[in-house]
Each structure stands twice: as structure tokens, then as C-alpha cells.
Chains A and B, each alone.
Chain A
């Protein structure tokens, strides 16, 4: 089995979950990875208690960036906006379950960057 392009990753790449737009939505952000041109946007629907009830990612990019967004989308429904805002980069890497080399790190973290953009307005690259 391929160490990076595991079946799990390729399945999420080819059949991304929660992909598309969400209208209406409460929060949104859009960003890109200038290194390779990957683009990703997110729409979030949030209830009165600040919990995410629905999510859609949209954009285009490599297998790692698209699969990571798909995998993360399945985890964040039910989380509060505050919880999402505080998710560290290591949490995303953990969800992927593969080793991410420094050259692919931004691919894997683009989804968290836009999630942070949507929940905090901070558009810097996630650390930690």
C-alpha cells in the first residue's frame, strides 16, 4: 500500500464529502496556497449555541489538500466555533493518519487555514 496515497486518502480525494456551497451560511472564508495554486473555500452554518450544524468546502487542489478538507469536514459538525478556532495543526495531521513532509504541510493545512479565517478572521498559516 502507498504510504502517502492510501486508499482512505484517495477515496476522500475522488469522492469528497461535504463538497460544494451552502446557502444560506453564517460564516465563510476563501484562501489559497500560493506555492501550488490550490484554492479552498468554506461555508459554515452555525446554530444559536454557536455549534456548527453543516459545512461545505469548495475549490480545487492536490490529493492531500482536497482529501484533508473532506476528512476534516466530517469531524467538525457538532463542534463549537470556538473549538474550531483553537484546533491546532497537529489535529489535522492526526485525522489524516499519514506522514506529511514539510513540502506537503501547507496542502494538508489549507482547510484549517480557511476554517480559522471563517471563525476568527485570522488568515495566517496554522501552527502547532
Chain B
């Protein structure tokens, strides 16, 4: 029997109620965790308990409930920060990774970019780490440049050095793990080279935090953004870890309640970190839920999460080529990629693949995966994508392969 951290996989699966569902008469095989992960009962219970027992606004109430809510909220921040190896005061809660990146693009970008400057991103970015920079460049007159992705789905550090050597790059923004082809990028190396060239760095960790054992401090980017809902947590909460000097020097992104120190009729002064970047009432229950998700991942151990996802990825990479006419872009070695496998089949469009997979309860994503420039680079309009988390099984990969054979049969291939 398959195990995760010496726990039978069936026990892990039992923590995720939605996996008990049947879809089109078959047990659900949820293979879309790169889009959003499922949530364990521990997360649902923590949020439910918060609303039933401790709900109050945070940072204001002098009464017992207000204190409790604040402790739960700030306690979640501390656990989240400790889990990824960063300090709580410079760990900002946002709505999602997109908002975290927009915070930097508006606040840092607005006061640090101008004509003649360059923002360097890569061809494998999710739109969330691409469009905010397009817009920042449009507003400030800076120029947006892309590092290319090789046929093996990798970035070139030599190309990075060449672009940095031109001396105009002010910011380098790169994804830690590709949401389409799974490439694990050498982000610590990229950050070190960018810093040596005087550029600020931002790493999008939305796909990395949920599945890799690592420390954000070791990556050492100036900004590290990720989202809670892909890490077994609820939607509506994201995280931005930032370097203190930068966060302190930046103007607020959103303004309003909670983020102020004093408000006069004409102007205001800003509160300390992280409150300065958390205007308005925070997603309190969501933070509590994310804290519980982090506890859950921590109890399993990220080394074990990674080992499980690596096994499923290697298994999928070995089995998918059994399907005639299949193409699987990205690194061929499971060690070089996260738990995501995109593929295209000659003669069957990805949308039709996903539809036929769904008939047997296999949930896969089809489309451009919010990475249209990468699709263009790979020369395909779209792919189908299977992605894994700690609750997935090899049998589900078998069912995927079976559904792909069925798709070819339906199309008379």
C-alpha cells in the first residue's frame, strides 16, 4: 500500500472530504492541484471554529473576543512565516499571489522605475507575474524584457548574465516552479546574479511553497509571493515576504483603515510593517485556515510531500508516452520538475481531452494555463495538464492514461 510519511495514503485521502465524491459515476480523480488544491478537514474545522467561537475584528477590540481573534490571526502569520523561514513582521497577508505581485509592481515599481529602466521576466511566467509588469512598464516608461525558455523548458543563466551586463535591469521577476511545464528554476542563483548586478528581485512561489522543502531565506529574493489556496489553504489569502528596507521605503499600495499611524484632515502617516500594507479588515478566517494548512503540511513534512509528488510525476512521465501521438513538454527528469505534467495529443484538442477525461471522473485542466507567451514559445495553442498533491495516487495516473486512450478511440484514432 502506498504511504506518505509512513501514513497510509488512504488515511491522508480521508482528510479530504471532496475526494469521497463520485463524478459521472466514477470516483473523483482530482488532477488539478496546480490550479487549486483540495482542503483537508483540519483547515475547514479551524475556519469553522474561528467563526463559531472567536470571530471579532482584529487589532482593535480590548475585549476578550477581539484579543482571541488577533492572537489567532497573528499566530497564523507567525506559523506561516516560520514555515517558510522568514520573519513575521515582513510577511504581508494579501488576497492572493496576484495581489502580492501587484503590490510590488505599483508600490515599488511606481517609485523606482522610469524610462531607460528594464524589468526582466521570463517566457514561462504565469500571467500573474507578467501582466502586472507589463502594466508597470506602461505606466512608468520602463521596458519589459523576457528571458527565453529552452526546448527542454529551462532558463539560461548565461543569457541572464548577458542581459544583466547591459546595466539597465532594475528588477528581475521569475517563477520558482512553472505551473505549466513544472520546471524548478534555480531561483537562488538567479537572485544572487541579479543582486550582484544591482537589480531587485521578485520570485513567484505559488507552485513552490505547496510542494517543495525549502526556505524563502535561502532563495533570498527581495520579494517572495505565493498564494494560500494552492497550499491546502482557503481562497482569498496570499502572502508577500519582503526585505525590510524595501518595504519600509515603499509607499502603501492600498490605503484606508488599519494601515495608518495617524490621520489628519489633509494627510496621514503610515503604521509599521506589516500593517502598512494591510489596509482594511484582513481575511482573518482565511489566515486561520492557512495556518491550519501549514500545520497539516508541516505534520506530513515537506520532504515527504515532495517525495510523494515526485513519485507521481515520475510515474506519469513514464506512463504518458504509452499514448500514441502524445507530446509532453518540459524537463524529462522528475527531479527537475514539480508535480505537474502538461501534454498534447495529435488529433485531439486539449479541451476535448479534458471533456473525455471528465466522463470517467478524471479532472484535468485544458487551455493556456494563464501562460500564453509560454504556449507560443512551445508552439502549441493549448495543452491539457495533470497536477498532483499529497492526496493523489498512482491509480489515478492509470485512470488518466486509460482516459487518454479512450479520447483517441472517440476521435477514431
Closest to B366 in A: A36
Interface residues of B in 366-386 (CB under 8 A from A): 366-368, 372, 375, 381-382
| B367→A37 contact, CB < 8 A | yes
| A-B contact list, 14 entries, CB within 8 Å | A5-B352, A14-B412, A36-B350, A36-B366, A36-B368, A37-B367, A37-B375, A38-B351, A38-B381, A61-B349, A62-B350, A63-B349, A63-B352, A64-B352
Closest to B347 in A: A14
B410, CB-defined interface residue at 8 Å: yes
| A36→B367 contact, CB < 8 A | yes
A64 to B351 Cα, complex, angstroms: 9
Chain A 58-87 interface 0/1 with B at a Cβ cutoff of 8 Å (1 = within): 001111101000000000000000000000
| B351→A36 contact, CB < 8 A | yes
When the two chains form the complex, which single residue of B367, B381, B382, B411 contacts A63, counting CB atoms closer than 8 Å?
Answer: B411
Closest to B358 in A: A103
Number of residues on chain B facing chain A (CB within 8 A) = 16
B78, CB-defined interface residue at 8 Å: no
Closest to A63 in B: B352
- Taking CB atoms, residues of chain A closer than 8 Å to B351 are 36, 38, 61-62, 64, 104, 107
| A5→B410 contact, CB < 8 A | yes
Interface residues on A, range: 10 to 19
B355, CB-defined interface residue at 8 Å: yes
- Taking CB atoms, residues of chain A closer than 8 Å to B349 are 61-63, 66
- Taking CB atoms, residues of chain B closer than 8 Å to A62 are 349-352
A68 to B308 Cα, complex, angstroms: 43
Would you give the shortest CB distance from A103 to chain B, in whole angstroms?
Answer: 8
Please provide the 4 A-B residue pairs with the shortest distance between their CB atoms, ordered closest to farther: A62-B351, A62-B349, A37-B382, A37-B368
Closest to B412 in A: A10
- Taking CB atoms, residues of chain A closer than 8 Å to B381 are 37-39, 60-61
Closest to A103 in B: B355
Measuring CB to CB, which residues of chain A are less than 8 angstroms from any residue of chain B? 2, 4-5, 10, 14, 35-39, 60-64, 66, 103-104, 107
* Chain B interface, DSSP helix/strand/loop, else mixed: mixed
| A104→B366 contact, CB < 8 A | no
- Residue of A4, A5, A10, A61 most packed against chain B (CB within 10 A): A5
- Residue of B351, B367, B382 most packed against chain A (CB within 10 A): B351
- Taking CB atoms, residues of chain A closer than 8 Å to B411 are 5, 10, 63
A61 to B349 Cα, complex, angstroms: 7
- Taking CB atoms, residues of chain B closer than 8 Å to A39 are 381
| A4→B355 contact, CB < 8 A | yes
A125 to B224 Cα, complex, angstroms: 38
Closest to B372 in A: A37
A66 to B351 Cα, complex, angstroms: 12
Given A37-B367, A37-B382, A39-B381, A2 and B350 touching (CB < 8 A)?
no
- Taking CB atoms, residues of chain B closer than 8 Å to A60 are 381
Given A5-B410, A10-B412, A35-B367; 8 other pairs, CB 8 A cutoff: A5-B352, A36-B366, A37-B367, A37-B375, A37-B381, A62-B349, A66-B349, A107-B351
Would you give the shortest CB distance from B230 to chain A, in whole angstroms?
Answer: 20
Would you give the shortest CB distance from B59 to chain A, in whole angstroms?
Answer: 40
Would you give the shortest CB distance from B110 to chain A, in whole angstroms?
Answer: 28
A63 to B350 Cα, complex, angstroms: 10
Would you give the shortest CB distance from A30 to chain B, in whole angstroms?
Answer: 14
Interface residues of B in 330-358 (CB under 8 A from A): 348-352, 355
| A2→B410 contact, CB < 8 A | yes
- Taking CB atoms, residues of chain B closer than 8 Å to A4 are 355
Would you give the shortest CB distance from B354 to chain A, in whole angstroms?
Answer: 9
- Taking CB atoms, residues of chain B closer than 8 Å to A38 are 351, 381-382
- Taking CB atoms, residues of chain A closer than 8 Å to B366 are 36
A60 to B379 Cα, complex, angstroms: 13
A36 to B352 Cα, complex, angstroms: 11
- Taking CB atoms, residues of chain A closer than 8 Å to B375 are 37
A92 to B355 Cα, complex, angstroms: 21
- Residue of A4, A14, A61, A63 most packed against chain B (CB within 10 A): A63
- Taking CB atoms, residues of chain B closer than 8 Å to A63 are 348-349, 352, 411
- Residue of B367, B372, B381 most packed against chain A (CB within 10 A): B381
- Taking CB atoms, residues of chain B closer than 8 Å to A64 are 351-352
Would you give the shortest CB distance from A77 to chain B, in whole angstroms?
Answer: 26
